Amino acid sequence: MEDNAFLTNSLKCPYNNVVRMLSIFILNANKAKKSLMLQTVNYKLIYANSLLVALFIAQTCIASVINSFLTIPKISVIISLILFFVAISLNRNTKFCKQVVISYALIFLLLSFSLIVNGVESCIDYILHYIVFGTTAFVLSNIPLNGKIIINSSIYIYIVYLIVFFLRIRMDYLEGDDLGTIQMGVAYSFVPGVLWAISLLFFPGFIIGNRYLKQILSIVVLIGSIYVVLFLTVTRGAIIAILFGCVFIAIFHLNKINRLKFIIVFLGGTIFLFLNIETVLEDFFYISSENSIGAIKKMSSLSNDGDVSNGRDLLYESAIDIIRSSPMIGKGVGYFEKINEIYVHQLFLQILCEMGMLGLFLFLFPITKIVKATVISNLASIYIIPIVLISSILIMLLFSNVYWLSPNFWFLFFLTPYHLKLVSKTDDIFLSRSL
């Protein structure tokens, strides 16, 4: 028995040695591969590009800060142009995705054709903004990036925005002539701040630098932004956008099984709330209080008046009539404004009016792919960016504003799952380097 045991151990030893040697070889190969990647990555370029994207996404906040000291017309256009020229100068050798190039060209041709056919002033305004916002977003969405740098930079931007808001902007905002419009713009501008802060608090691994400092800053941004949205504005869409973003981040944080459970519970709760909205408002919110949530008070008031849509239903009816007259190709960009002298206040209805079912497919297809890629992603930091954009921009466009004039809509539109997957690989590389 002892001889057999000795023979067995002797036979095992070479096998173990072979396995050990193979393991060492694979480990060294991975180290060599990572070392090569570290050598080929231009860190300065990635830092610069990521900062440009953070500034582009937060340009509404930056424009508000600048205008609080200097009144500059079309400041957002100027900011976008500056970011465009800087991005182009830094990324001269960047190869753009053919799919994105074709999409950009098709939209430009569509705008040009609509301008010739309809010849309305709004169409001219849309095409000029698309040239600036769309082109800048097209470039920024295709260059080397890092999600962690974007998120961390955004926190600093929102800290500055909060400080300037409470010191200077708030007084101008409260004394504005068009208070409703100002309030709505302010409310939506703070939505990304809430979601950036929650992202860093949910995912401490996304933090670059001093962890405790970033968490404190995130808490300040979170509390300050929520205070502005809930108590200084009466914008219901901003509250919905924040809730949607929080749900999206929670789903992103969970594994596949728990994601399904969470989605089922959330949908059930949403349906219940929708069916019992008046009871919920009366029983769970103190509407008459001066310190109650402004949006909730507004919703309750409109509900009592029988007009929860705040007049949007008439615009929707007009849009549906236009869609019925040309359901496949629409009536061209600016046609609804030509008839009604105001935009639709609803993203999908506006697209259907302008481009029909074909246009709706053109816009929804890339965004749907981004949503799918984000839901099934591997928790890379870059996937937080689509979550923030979808929540803050798409939700807003469902209730107000025009997508042609939205820089962040175009950034979301030109993002591709392939680019996000490519960018996500830099997360591990950055972890191996002291930041």
pLDDT in tens, 216-239: 999 999 999 988 888 877 677 888
Q: What total of structural domains would you count in the chain?
A: 1
Residues 6+ apart with CB under 8 A from 240: 395
> Which pLDDT does position 200 carry in this prediction?
92
For residue 307, give both structure tokens.
Answer: 């007009």
DSSP 141: T
Q: Between these two residues, 174 and 355, which has the higher pLDDT value? A: 355
Amino acid at 282: E
Q: Is residue 192 part of a domain?
A: yes
In-domain check, residue 28: no
Look-up of token digits 């570290």: 38
Which amino acid type is present at position 19? V
**Cα separations in angstroms, 361 against 3, 31, 63, 227:** 75, 45, 33, 38
Give 159's pLDDT tier (boundaries 50, 70, 90): very high
pTM above 0.95, yes or no: no
Average pLDDT over residues 345-370: 89
Taking every pair of C-alpha atoms in the chain, what is the biggest distance, in angstroms? 98
Query: Can you give the residue range of the structural domain that contains 393?
Result: 42-275+309-431
Residue 415 identity:
L
pLDDT for residue 432? 46
Q: Are 407 and 80 in contact (CB under 8 A)?
A: yes
Between residues 288 and 257, the one the model is more confident about: 257
| Secondary structure of residue 326 in the 3-state scheme | coil
21 SS3 class: helix
Model pLDDT, residue 425 = 74
pLDDT number for residue 430: 56
What is the pLDDT at residue 136? 95
With 80 as the cut, is the pLDDT of residue 206 above it? yes
Kindly state whether residue 129 falls inside one of the protein's structural domains: yes
Is 218 part of a structural domain of the chain?
yes
pLDDT given at position 280: 54
- What is the arithmetic mean of pLDDT over 64-91? 90
In a domain, 25, yes or no: no
Kindly state the average pLDDT of the residues 69-88. Answer: 91
Tokens of 389: 């954009």
Specify the range with the lowest mean pLDDT, choosing from 116-120, 142-146, 170-174, 344-348: 170-174
- Indicate if the pLDDT at residue 434 is higher than 60: no
Instruction: Indicate the pLDDT class of residue 6, thresholds 50, 70 and 90.
Output: very low
271 or 421: whose pLDDT is higher?
A: 421
- The pLDDT score that the predictor gives to residue 293 is 52
Burial of 306 per CB tally in 10 Å (0-12, 13-18, 19+):
exposed
From 67-76, 114-123, 244-253, 268-277, the region with the lowest mean pLDDT: 268-277
What pLDDT, on a 0 to 100 scale, did the predictor assign at position 310?
A: 52
User: Within a 13 Å sphere around the CA of 73, how many CA atoms are in the beta-carbon half?
Assistant: 0
Is 34 domain-assigned? no
Q: At residue 80, what is the residue type?
A: S
Q: Say what the pLDDT of residue 8 is.
A: 43
The DSSP symbol for 330 reads -
* Domain presence at residue 240: yes
| DSSP character at residue 286 | -
Does some domain include residue 349?
Answer: yes
Q: Kindly state the tokens that stand for 116.
A: 């010739």
Tally of CB atoms within 10 A around 398: 16
Mean pLDDT of the region 128-147: 92
CB 363 within 8 Å of CB 404 = no
The pLDDT value recorded for residue 275 is: 60
